[in-house]
Structure 1
Amino acid sequence: MRKLITVLFLPIFSYGVEILSPIKNSIHNEEFATISVKLTKEEIDNGISLEIKAGKQYFMFGMDPNRDVYCRSMKIKPGINVFEIIYTDQSGKQIRKSVEIFRYSILYKTSEEPPPRFEEKFFHTRKNEERCAKCHDMSSLPEDIVPESPQKSPCYTCHKVLTSRKRVHAPSENWVCNYCHLDVGLSYQRYETPFPISEKCFSCHEYREKVWMNKKYVHGPTSTGQCNICHNPHSSDYIFFLKKPIWNLCTSCHAEKASGTHVLAGFVFGKSHPTRGRPDPSRPGRELVCSSCHNPHASNYRYMFNNDYTGDRYLCQMCHKK
């Protein structure tokens, strides 16, 4: 007698969880990166959650039947960063995927030199934009157009996090991204910024160019036109849109001065002159920092002294008038 065997056919899902951005092994200069994850219809219908991890940061999405792409902007640290996504379905099965990127900055030891596997990869290619066009306006504004409001800019939805810091640079605040990021019409890179960036900076700050470039001594970042080594062109939590507080910024390169004291041995306050932690007599209400004595852009004196002083004692008399 033959046994009747009942075979139960369970639905088989093809899991194709896909990380659209950031691009694997890409180099980033900003402190934010956006992770974008695309799910199939089966994954959406059978899913419970999508988790995103980046270092200590964590975010969870519940499944939405009306969307197949999930995006989140997160902070990234200097050096190597790993974005991990965890998709969980109704049976408890999990799919894990990750992407590794590198945040480059010469201001941090951990990010001065990217390992060979990392390289600059531009997201705004025609191919990538076609995948985003379902939800986002991928058009570009003409160079001379100012949006009526930030929300009217096609850049706003994805890049609004760049204006989240305390001080916002005027082009970013007005969302005239098209002034610095030009649509060059290439299929592999749409929005190019000039290198060095000073070409754009001096188009607004032309007076500074005339003053600094005619000085006898010009500080390295200024002379090479790389204003964005020290300044963030979008926004910053610090004065002058700096990437770090002044003392921390200067000692990122001039590490030998990071003891907090300086070269005038036996002068005052112990072994040598302080460089921070005291009020600045020449600028009431502000703390003593490197720029109290040194011009960070250019000077006619070899130590980049302020006010083009040609002798040490004249600089000292800015504060020590007696």
Structure 2
Amino acid sequence: MNNITWLTVLFIFSFSSAFEILSPVKNRIYEEEFVSVSVKLLEEEIENGLTLEIKVGQSYFMFGMDPKRDVYCKSFKIKPGKNVIQVIYTDQNGKEKRKSVEIFRYSLLYRESEEPPSRFGEKFFHTKSNEDRCAKCHNMNSLPEDVIPPSAKESPCYSCHKPLTSRKKPHAPSENWVCNYCHKDVGMSYMKYETPFPIAETCFSCHETEERIWMNKKYVHGPTSTGQCNICHNPHSSDFIFFLKKPIFDLCTSCHAEKASGVHVLAGFVFGKFHPVRGRPDPSRPGRELVCSSCHNPHASNYRFMFNHDYTGDRYICQMCHKK
């Protein structure tokens, strides 16, 4: 895998000793682009520590050491594919001790993350042993179901997971920090807070109208029919319309690569040999760009080409824009 992000945490101390990487869990698969790194220092390191520099690729973060702290946490962005988190401890004499953890960011939308090696898998962080180690600084109690925290900072999830809402368009449950609406404490420590698979069971608990309409159509798009809404949508936040993980054209062509040339397969239109599928205004939706979803419904349709508005013939979809 060529696309590797190296996350380096550099410690400079006198009389160095060992340290422990609490998070992330070794060989864990991540779907989100953020990961929380947590490192625990031993007593002699706390007493002799000077500075802490955290490097992520070309970026870095530095702050002074606090003699009252033994654990340091920081969130980082990770790229699709394998990511190596490396912790380097350096003592006053320049002697280094190193530890590293590999994780894998997986998504069907990124070629760099296809087919993770067999050593990577789902590894749940919220086990009792991990929570016990975090409880000194973090509130590890679960929110009762349907309880809304008075403010974001009063949610027990906020301190570690606030980057999940940092994108331009936060999804309502995340924006209001009612994480317990989707991530429930089911009383099983090995899968605490994990959403059901497929995720549609959770999504349709709020989006009931969409479920009723889409699942009664003749043709249902693959991600919708299998209940995997999170293939295309980010349930926490997004920089793109409809909480999509990519701009519409880029999202669709992640799977439909044969359309990535930017032109349609139909010939004989005014803009050249082929019909354009991007870079033009959408006549049927003023203010929007012409994209795949201008003609095709990404969820379900009663027409075999997933045409919008259940049109039953090719010429009718054309008349959405080409009115004659």
TM-score category (smaller protein): over 0.9
What is residue 152 of structure 1 aligned with on the other side?
154
CA contact (8 A) 1:47 1:90 kept: no
What is residue 5 of structure 1 aligned with on the other side?
none
| Equivalent position amino acid for 2:250 in 1 | N
The structure with the larger Rg is: 1
- CA drift at 1:178: 0.7
Which deviates further from its counterpart, 71-80 or 85-94? 85-94
What is residue 125 of structure 1 aligned with on the other side?
127
Equivalence map 1:126-145=2 (5 Å): 126-145=128-147
The whole-number CA distance in structure 2 between the counterparts of 1:309 and 1:169 is: 31
CA contact (8 A) 1:48 1:89 kept: no
SS in 2 for 1:147: coil
The whole-number CA distance in structure 2 between the counterparts of 1:47 and 1:148 is: 37
CA contact (8 A) 1:53 1:84 kept: no
What is residue 218 of structure 2 aligned with on the other side?
216
Deviations 1:200-249 (A, max 9, x none): 11110100001001100000000000000000000000000000000000
CA contact (8 A) 2:27 2:120 kept: yes
Work out the percentage of aligned pairs sharing the same amino acid: 78
CA contact (8 A) 2:127 2:190 kept: yes
Choose which of 62, 71, 75 in structure 2 pairs with 1:60: 62
CA contact (8 A) 2:80 2:106 kept: yes
| Equivalent position amino acid for 1:60 in 2 | M
CA contact (8 A) 1:57 1:74 kept: no
Of structures 1 and 2, the one scoring higher in RCO (CA 8 A, sep 6+) is: 2
CA contact (8 A) 2:174 2:237 kept: yes
Change (3 A) 1:47 1:22: same
Equivalence map 1:1-322=2 (5 Å): 13=15, 15-322=17-324
Gaps of 5+ in 1: 1-11
Deviations 1:260-302 (A, max 9, x none): 0011123231110010001101111111000000000000000
- CA drift at 1:60: 2.7
CA contact (8 A) 1:217 1:304 kept: yes
The whole-number CA distance in structure 2 between the counterparts of 1:273 and 1:111 is: 32
Which deviates further from its counterpart, 155-164 or 95-104? 95-104
| Equivalent position amino acid for 1:134 in 2 | K
| Equivalent position amino acid for 2:92 in 1 | Q
- CA drift at 1:27: 0.4
SS in 1 for 2:323: coil
- Number of equivalent positions: 311
CA contact (8 A) 1:78 1:108 kept: yes
The whole-number CA distance in structure 2 between the counterparts of 1:51 and 1:303 is: 53
CA contact (8 A) 2:186 2:193 kept: yes
